[in-house]
Amino acid sequence: MRHFLSLFDVSDDELKRIFELGHQLKSRLKSGVREPILQGKVAGLLFEKPSLRTRVSFEAGMAQLGGSSLFLGEDVGWGKREAPQDFSRVIGQYLDVIVCRAKSHDKVETLAKYADTIIINGLTDLCHPCQALADLMTIREEFGSLEGQKLTFVGDGNNVSRSLALACAKMDMTFSLAHPKGYEIEQEFIDRILAVSPNAKIEQTTDPIAAVEGACAVYTDVWASMGQEAEQAKREKDFADFQVNQKLMDAAAKDAIFLHCLPAKRGQEVTDQVMDCKTSRIVEQAGNRMHAQKGLLVWLLTEAVDKVHLD
């Protein structure tokens, strides 16, 4: 049984294969081909947090692949009405895959421990691996390859930037984080990346101009994510010098694109000018959530499962 709780769960070659599948499925969809590769498969979307892109992209992706999905919100009582192991063992019998969007990474790990079905991390406080798939797929489309490219994240050492740091390490890219003092990625997580990718090129600095130098993609996120609303005022003050504006984009590579995982707070972490500029790829990036996840679903529900049977 293969799960996708973080990018640590796949090898570099497996990650490349997922990208290839995503690109192929996107190309076929553009040609009007919707192959029922996952006909009869059922995905459950177990969400503790609000969602637009994650929910819609997974539901649409499963439908296009011939499968179906159902949304499981707070009313199912996960972690409230019954013990996690009871809930997980029962729901695992009904579904072929569960996409879990949880407030804590521990809850996704518990689900994977007890549910006898494939678990995909749809976002936790630790990481957001499906978002990273779409992000690197977008860069690959723009520049033709990932190897040797540099991605700069301007903001917090959060779940999105941790996943990007790991994804870049796996694809031989340089990852740079420009952050206010105290908001860097924890050394423990960096050490985990270095343990599997000893040659990883990860830079962290409090100088945004230096961080974006040579970057092919400049990326940012809201300064206060879901669950951090109480810190909004403090974070606005701490991140005031880390807005992505045209001056910062001009310091990156000449053909650099702008990325944002959305939703964005225009005028705060990024200006309208950058959001709407010719090199902004936020719409294509959001669209690639579905295409990359379709590659992941096909890989997990067909190729990886077949490999387990062969072993």
Residue 191 among the catalytic residues: no
Marked catalytic residue, from 235, 289, 291, 293: 289
Q: 37 is written with which tokens?
A: 């590769």
130 is in an annotated binding site: yes
> Does the annotation flag 180 for ligand binding?
no
Residue 293 known to be catalytic: no
Clarify whether 131 is annotated catalytic.
yes
- Flag whether 268 is marked binding: no
Q: Are 218 and 249 in contact (CB under 8 A)?
A: yes
The per-type count for the chain, helices as H runs and strands as E runs, is 13, 9
Q: Which of 3, 55, 96, 131 is catalytic?
A: 131
H or E element that contains 57: helix 53-64
All residues at 6 or more sequence positions from 105 whose CB lies less than 8 Å from its CB, including other chains: 5, 121, 124, 125, 126, 127
Which one is catalytic: 100, 261, 281, 285?
A: 261
Could you give the angle at which helices 12-30 and 282-298 cross, rounded to 10 degrees? Answer: 110
Which amino acid is it at 15? Answer: L
Is 128 annotated in a binding site? The answer is yes
- 309 an active-site residue? no
What six digits make up the tokens of 90? 């029962």
Active site annotation includes 162: no
289 is in an annotated binding site: yes
Q: Is 129 annotated as a binding residue?
A: yes
**125 in catalytic set:** no
Catalytic residue among 128, 140, 260, 281: 128
Q: Confirm or deny that 101 is annotated as ligand binding.
A: yes
Bind-site residues for carbamoyl phosphate: 101, 128-131, 261-262, 289
Q: Which residues are catalytic?
A: 101, 128, 131, 221, 261, 289
Bind-site residues for L-ornithine: 159, 221, 225-226
Bind-site residues: 101, 128-131, 159, 221, 225-226, 261-262, 289
